[in-house]
A and B are shown apart, each in its own frame.
Chain A
Amino acid sequence: MTWINDIVQGITLGGFYGLLACGLALMFGLMRIINLAHGDIAVLGAYLVFLLLEHWHVSPFIGILPVLPVMLLLGYLLQRTMLERSLRSGLLVPLLTTFGLSIVIQNLLEQGFSPDVRSLGENAGSIATSSWQITSKLSISTIGALTLGVAIVIFGSLQWFLSRTQPGRQMRATAQDPDTAELVGIDSRAVYGWATAIAVAIAAVAGMFLAIRSTFFPYAGPDNLIFAFEAVVIGGLGSSLWGALLGGIVLGVAQTIGGQINPEYSILAGHLVFLLVLASPRGGLLTLGAGGIARVRSARGVSA
């Protein structure tokens, strides 16, 4: 039954989409920021790992480790310098900022690294190509399982961080009511800074997996961005962070099954499932309106 194989493959693809969507969901849930540069940030992460691997011949899984603190810092700075200011001017302005950032990143990457399409699959060695044969009809690729595993660990850690630690609690409080959060002693700007830092670092991890599983080039950001967004919305905007992973899995399965019918249909299948979920009464799978960091607040329209 190739269907089971497809579903499994779709689930592991969903793990990748979930990783990609995680940072996006965090930033949106906390700050209502739609980060149009998120895909490009993931690609930037891939390039940083690539750069490291040029001089230091190790596996990308080791290479990502020093890249993470760099991305944390970049994310924090991005928030405190650009996004914080943009947010004060209205909810739409971050769209313009992140749009500009997206273009700048893409084109600086092209200037710095050439437009060539690359991959880090070779550097990852056998992990990128091997698979486990579970039954005669069912096999899971190692990298797929690893991506899904890492996604679950990261989502779980983030959820634990939000629920059980003081900084996490402060983040949730700031997400609910930033003004009152300040009144109880929470530095909301620092909280936002750390949230973006975490989002950017996780995006880098997603970028690394992108580079290993397939290919990357300077303009790869936007294609991946829409999948990340779809994952977040399918999961449901009023849900906990896990919604993004669930949405990613649904998207991955939809795309894989669609691709089985006809390889050209895979992405379209994902879009159709997205639209189906959107058209459903709840508009999202886990939209409950309660709990977690992402809440649906009534949009107050656009302020210029």
Chain B
Amino acid sequence: MSLLSVEGLELRHGLLEAVRGVDIAIAEGETVALVGANGAGKTTLLRAIAGAHRPSRGRIVFDGRDITRLRAHDCVRMGISLVPEGRRLFGDLTVEENLLVGAQRRRGGHWTLETVLEAFPMLARLRERRAKTLSGGEQQATAIGRALIANPRLLLLDEVSLGLAPLAVDAVYESLATVIAQGATVLLVEQDLTRAVGVAERVVCMLEGRFVLEGRRGELTREQITSAYFGLSRGAAA
């Protein structure tokens, strides 16, 4: 019984079709990486799962419940948390306030303010700082912490490495490894193929709104993924 099941999902931006019918099932404890070029529809898909984008067709089933029409804040209460692309912290709130604002009293669990600060030690001394004064890596850590503190059963991560220095990305992925080791179910969008394959058991490649490749870590070669990523195996051969 999968934790998350997406069936025939279609997502639009106005008249533009961003996601044209995708199916995926994620089991509890799995880590799945969603890769693809810009504009492939990855962010839209994550947002739809998180409840921030209403599907025009299809279903999203989470833990047996149909959550297709559920609004984002209700999805959080059900146990789905999204770390949005670009961090999107509340700039004028302090780090501590950013973390606390995501706390859901009704969901118990491992993650509290203290445990999050333990998992991201760099944040401990930044507690009182306004979020907009932080560096990219610090902001990313805060954003992940903010999602974790809701004790999600499904963690969605959108481009956590974007705009960060390599060292900062290392730090983020180290913390992520800890989170995954604790049994979290993770679906992450990642442009950096190496990182994606390094952390995920399953890789899905998306192109122009559709899944074009799917496989387990060991099964796929880099060449296969790259080819699917750019759509090289399609196109006119005269």
State whether A166 and B100 are in contact (beta carbons under 8 Å apart), knowing that A176-B91, A180-B90 are contacts in the complex: yes
A183 near B52 with CB under 8 A, answer yes
Determine the chain B residues whose CB is within 8 A of the CB of A112 once the complex forms: none
Question: What is the CB-to-nearest-CB distance from A288 to chain B, in angstroms, rounded to a whole number?
Answer: 11
Which stretch of B69-77, B111-119, B226-234 is in the interface? B69-77
Q: How far is the CA of A180 from the CA of B76 in the complex (A)?
A: 12
Interface-forming stretch among A35-43, A72-80, A184-192, A224-232? A184-192
Contact pick for A184, options B91, B92, B150, CB 8 Å: B150
How many A residues have CB within 8 A of the partner chain? 21
| Chain A contacts with B in 173-212, Cβ cutoff 8 A | 173, 176-177, 179-188
Contacting residues, chain A, for B82 (C-beta < 8 A): 183
Q: Which of B73, B77, B104, B150 contacts A188 (CB 8 A)?
A: B73
User: Nearest Cβ distance between residue A190 and chain B, in whole angstroms?
Assistant: 9
**Chain A interface secondary structure, helix, strand, loop or mixed?**
helix
Find out whether the CB atom of B100 lies under 8 angstroms from the CB atom of A187.
no
Q: Any chain B CB within 8 A of the CB of A213?
A: no
Cβ contact within 8 Å between A172 and B100:
no
A292 to B100, CA, bound (A): 17
8 A Cβ contacts from B46-97 to A:
50-52, 71-73, 76-77, 81-82, 84, 88, 90-93, 97
Contact with B73, one of A177, A186, A291 (Cβ below 8 angstroms): A186
When distances are taken between beta carbons in the complex, the residues of chain A under 8 Å from B150 are 184-185
Find out whether the CB atom of B146 lies under 8 angstroms from the CB atom of A172. no
Known contacts: A169-B97, A169-B100, A169-B101. The answer to whether A182 contacts B91 by CB under 8 A is no
**B93 CB contact (under 8 Å) in A166, A172, A185, A187:** A172
Whether A184 lies near B146 (C-beta < 8 A) is yes
Q: Given A176, A179, A184, which contacts B76 in the complex, CB threshold below 8 Å?
A: A184
Query: Given the interface contacts A169-B100, A182-B52, does A176 sit within 8 Å of B90 by beta carbon?
Result: yes
Instruction: Identify the closest chain B residue to A295 (Cβ).
Output: B92
Chain B interface bracket (under 10, 10 to 19, 20 to 34, 35 or more): 20 to 34
Q: Which residues of A contact B88 (CB under 8 A)?
A: 177, 179-180, 183
Tell me the bound Cα distance from A127 to B91 in angstroms: 46
Q: Please name all residues of chain B whose beta carbon is closer than 8 Å to the beta carbon of A180 when the two chains form the complex.
A: 84, 88, 90
Jot down 20 A-B pairs with beta carbons below 8 A, ordered by A. Answer: A166-B100, A169-B100, A169-B101, A170-B101, A172-B92, A173-B90, A173-B93, A179-B52, A180-B84, A180-B90, A182-B51, A182-B73, A183-B84, A184-B81, A184-B101, A184-B150, A185-B73, A185-B81, A186-B101, A291-B92
Q: Which residues of B line the A interface, CB within 8 A?
A: 50-52, 71-73, 76-77, 81-82, 84, 88, 90-93, 97-98, 100-104, 146-147, 150
New A-B pairs, 20, CB < 8 Å, besides A176-B91, A187-B71: A169-B93, A169-B100, A169-B101, A172-B93, A172-B97, A173-B93, A173-B101, A177-B88, A179-B88, A183-B50, A184-B147, A184-B150, A185-B72, A185-B76, A185-B150, A186-B73, A188-B73, A290-B92, A291-B92, A292-B92
